[in-house]
Amino acid sequence: MNSANDSAAFWEKHYAGMDAQWGTKPNAVLTALLADLAPAPGTALDLGCGHGGDALWLAAQGWDVTPVDVSQTALDRVAAGAAATGLTDRIHPQQHDLSQTFPDGAWDLVTATYFHTPVTIARESVLRRAAQAVAPGGRLIVIEHASTAPWSWQAGQDIHYPTPEDVIASLQLDNTWAVERGDAPQRTATGPEGQTATVTDNVIAVRRTG
């Protein structure tokens, strides 16, 4: 799969067949990282938000959030989650195929949490564009798979995962940026049948200082 329409088709089908409650909790790595970095709530852009676990949690913490996804079904569920929790004023969903279009503006926090897809896209370019969307003083946080869970669509494939250093280098940041996190911690993940496995994530946090 490699055309613009493939992303929408793949992810619409994915979410249409999925329990609307899946993915409505925030990513524990992200919440721990933000507890550590302790930014004051401002504006946030969540790239590939899915069912909005991160976006809804950020909004509940006081952030004004723009969740973005290629799947309108996923975005409708984020909006429904916001309505159910009184967060509609702080959630502004936008539908984009990020390999084609990107939201206009600048944000204090830009997140990309497991922004992975089996569709061939210029993912590094999207993340470089994400860095450009960070306002001065703001942060880009990328949390991504650095190993394959046994239940993943990629299980059994010989996947080359970039190191955190590779990911930071691919962002092509200038000297107005500071690296706050760039490591690959392990965690215990739970699969769709409740099975568990130890997996590795790349955790990248970079701050635009100027």
Task: Note whether 202 binds ligand SAM by CB under 6 A.
Answer: no
State which residue has the least CB distance to ligand SAM.
48
User: Residues 112-115: contacts with CB within 8 Å, 24+ apart?
Assistant: 112/47, 112/48, 112/140, 112/141, 112/142, 112/143, 112/144, 113/27, 113/30, 113/46, 113/48, 113/54, 113/141, 113/143, 113/144, 114/27, 114/48, 114/143, 114/144, 114/145, 115/47, 115/48, 115/142, 115/144
- Residue closer to ligand SAM (CB basis): 45 or 98: 98
Task: Note whether 115 binds ligand SAM by CB under 6 A.
Answer: yes
Task: Note whether 69 binds ligand SAM by CB under 6 A.
Answer: yes
Site for ligand SAM in 75-114 (CB under 6 A): 96-99, 113-114
Q: Which of 56, 58, 70, 149 binds ligand SAM (CB under 6 A)?
A: 70
Which residue stretch of 70-78, 82-90, 128-136, 151-159 sits at the interface with ligand SAM (rule: CB under 6 A)?
70-78
Answer yes or no: are the C-beta atoms of 122 and 99 closer than 8 Å.
Answer: yes
Task: Note whether 48 binds ligand SAM by CB under 6 A.
Answer: yes
Q: Which of 45, 121, 133, 199 binds ligand SAM (CB under 6 A)?
A: 121
- Residue 64 has which token pair? 């004004």
Size of the site for ligand SAM (CB under 6 A): 22
Q: What angle do CA 13, 200, 45 make, to 5 degrees?
A: 55
- Interface residues toward ligand SAM, by CB under 6 A: 7, 11, 23, 27, 48-50, 53, 69-71, 74, 96-99, 113-117, 121
